[in-house]
Amino acid sequence: MRQGSDKELIDLISQIDQKEKQRKTNKPTAADEEVDKNSKVFTIKPEENDGYITVKNNEIFIKDGEDNGQQPSLIPNDNLTTLVNGKQIDSETIVSEGDEIRIKELSNSSPYHILISEDKLKVTFQLKKKLILKEAAPTVKLKVDVIEITPSLEIQSELLKVREDLIQLGIRLEINLSAIMTELLQPTFEEIVIVQGSPPVQGKDGFVEYYFKNKKEEVYEEVGGKINFKNRFKIPTVEAGNIIGKVHEAIEGKEGVNVFGESIYPKKPKPVNIRAKENVNILSNGQIVMKLISSKILLVT
């Protein structure tokens, strides 16, 4: 029994020594550390007279240490901008009850994004999740973290605000208010198209459609054991009255319009240029017809 009591006393003294060393070196021991698995930050339970930081109901509370107790400190979060008395901290910082602590990312901002595409042909709307402080039990050291929640919005006022924002941006086309309202009522937090312009429809260049090969063919024939170079070109031959092709005139495109109501003009199509020889007629409907005699034919375009 006595031996057991001595061992217990030794253990207590050892624990006190460890805690005293902890106060001096500011390093937590394994017995006093708890790891927050979500933020992967070591937290230290405050001892008697120690100050602490706690987070509750989206607010940070600080209690100063008393007598020789430790003063609480903040550890910066790489993903957040932590301001102490208006200045950003980038290393562990001791704080006290009178300090103003603010997380920049929690500042009041619009609950949605409005984005105009680079080609100015569409506007998208995306609802954002709300960031709030992650609650934390009292600890001597704290790395502030946040969590995302679905925002609670007044649908009618937000709908009117989105419309007003779009007007301020200079949007002139019809706004899909129904799509916005649906997203506000049943959030998906995905980008949705709320204004859609129309791209221009490009025209078509003019061209000639041939119903035969409109070019000379070079054919080498052997006559009497010799190559006939003189009559090596073969020119297409057609009968009188045959339709040998058709001229397709250029087709103009159609204007488009961007989300600002500005016209987008299509490219000017190239006209068709054709010069027919004397044995060819080009009719008003574009058909190319041989005259009354059969002939070799070659169009120049």
Count up the domains in the chain and report the number: 2
Do 291 and 265 share a structural domain? yes
The conformation of residue 251, written as its DSSP 8-state character, comes to B
Do 108 and 51 share a structural domain? yes
Cβ contact 165:123 at 8 Å: no
CA angle 103, 106, 108 (to 5 degrees): 130
Do 240 and 119 share a structural domain? no
Cβ contact 301:257 at 8 Å: no
Paired residues of 164 in beta bridges: none
Taking only the tens place, the pLDDT of each residue in 236-246 is 666 777 777 88
Do 169 and 42 share a structural domain? yes
- Residue 301, domain member (yes or no): no
Tokens 């250029």 label which residue?
250
Tokens 């240490």 label which residue?
65
- Count of C-beta atoms within a 10 Å radius of residue 34: 13
Do 183 and 52 share a structural domain? yes
Our measurement of the distance from residue 210's CA atom to the centroid of its chain's CA atoms, rounded to an integer in Å, reads 49
Q: Please give the Cα distance from 219 to 198 (Å, whole number).
A: 53
- Residue 94, domain member (yes or no): yes
pLDDT at residue 195 in the model: 97
Q: Please give the Cα distance from 171 to 227 (Å, whole number).
A: 75
Do 186 and 48 share a structural domain? yes
Do 105 and 71 share a structural domain? yes
Structural domain of 92: 32-196
Model confidence, pTM:
0.62
Q: Please give the Cα distance from 277 to 214 (Å, whole number).
A: 13
Nearest to 19 by CA among 9, 29, 8, 10: 29
Q: Please give the Cα distance from 204 to 7 (Å, whole number).
A: 98
The segments of the chain whose pLDDT lies below 50 read 1-6, 8-13, 15-17, 19-20, 23-24, 26-41, 293, 295-301
Taking only the tens place, the pLDDT of each residue in 160-180 is 999 999 999 999 999 999 999
pLDDT at residue 244 in the model: 77
